Amino acid sequence: MAIEVLKPGLATSVQDAGRPGYYHLGIPLSGALDQLSFRLANLLVGNPEDSAALECSLLAPELRFTEDAMVAITGAVATVKVNEKEAPRDTSFTVRAGDTLKFGFMTLGARLYVAVAGGIDVPKVLGSRSTYGLGAFGGFKGRKLESGDVLPVGARSRRAREGTAAPAGWVRQPEKEVRLRVLPGLYDHRLTKEAAVSFYADTWSVAPEADRIGYRYRHGQPLKFRDRTPPFGAGSDPSNIVDAGYPYGSIQVPGGLEPIILQRDAVSGGGYAMIGTVVSADMGLIAQMQPNYKARFVAVDMAQALQARAGQTARLKQLRTAFVA
């Protein structure tokens, strides 16, 4: 079967769990930004949790199905309609051959996931079906979807059942204000003492430029870096460093003006100081932030960061267990 793209939405792409293992070659993780919502959508339609699905940003697409299919929608809050009849979120449902799936504006959250029983069956590139736009590979022709695209769908699993719902109390609605836990470093010592205090004290707003490469924040106080004689190979701005690797979730502040949290499609290195790294358990919160949503940064130590990761792992294990039972 196949899915016809009638309207592509603002930025819809094929994503799976990601493409780890190639960061040293400059190829980032890619994959779904909100991993919990993505994995839930797949489990609801009986797919392996890492199957390829559609990630839709802010404005979702309009799709037509060539054959009967089982679908689940998770993530951001938006009205879901099959033809003109409203359909559920966080619950699997059937679409018939010729039906059109469409969405209203996302009223809460920024990313919505569309999983189809059988998964989006595009070719794997370096072990993943995820789209990497900067590299123009993976996904469907290495790019965001366009009107007229036809997406292949794999064979449907026998586990796909209509009306399968998310476990009670498991779905977490996106929030307009979040606290993001940050492990300070690798270059936070380059900030003045006053700047380090204000970074965590201020409330920051998501800028319109936020995307899969990085989330830019503004409206906090400018952050001053300590004066120094630039080392050989670094730029003249105090926020510059000799080129270094960028961890996923790391925070850079070019010119000390607007923090940028590097996302799953970011380049793997460069010449800006990284003042901290958002813990992996909180990266999905960032994925659901629309422009002007607000964040406060909270400093944590390594033990707290590892505890957060363990909590995320336990939550995913709980979800998997619910679908095995």
pLDDT tens digits for 100-111? 999 999 999 999
Per-chain mean pLDDT for the chain:
94
Same domain as 292, residue 223:
yes
Co-location of 114 and 203 in the same domain: no
**Model pTM score:** 0.94
Q: Total domain count for the chain?
A: 2
For residue 103, how many other CB atoms are within 10 A of its CB? 22
The number of beta carbons lying within 10 Å of the beta carbon of residue 113 is 25
Dihedral angle of Cα 292, 53, 18, 128, to the nearest 10 degrees: -150
170 within a domain of the structure (yes/no): no
Q: Report the amino acid identity of residue 203.
A: T
Residues forming beta bridges with residue 77, ordered by sequence position: 108
113 is written with which tokens?
């996931």
> What does residue 54 show for φ and ψ, rounded to 5 degrees?
-100, 130
Q: Which domain holds residue 218?
A: 177-313
| 264 and 200 belong to one structural domain | yes
In the prediction, which pLDDT does 231 show? 82
Nearest to 273 by CA among 321, 245, 320, 239: 239
Q: Are residues 102 and 45 in the same domain?
A: yes
Tell whether 105 is covered by a domain. yes
In this structure, are 101 and 38 located in the same domain? yes
pLDDT in tens, 243-291: 989 999 999 999 989 999 999 999 999 999 999 999 999 999 999 999 9
User: Comparing 67-81, 141-155, 228-242, 277-291, which segment has the lowest mean pLDDT?
Assistant: 228-242
Contact predicate 256/225, CB 8 Å: yes
Asked if the structure places residue 209 within a domain, the reply is yes
23 located within any domain: yes
* 235 found inside a domain: yes
pLDDT in tens, 17-71: 999 999 999 999 999 999 999 999 999 999 999 999 999 999 999 999 999 999 9
| 141 and 206 inside one domain | no
Q: How far is CA 289 from the centre of its chain?
A: 10
Q: What is the reported pLDDT for 325?
A: 58
Among residues 102, 117, 152, the one where a domain terminates is 152
Q: Are residues 132 and 187 in the same domain?
A: no
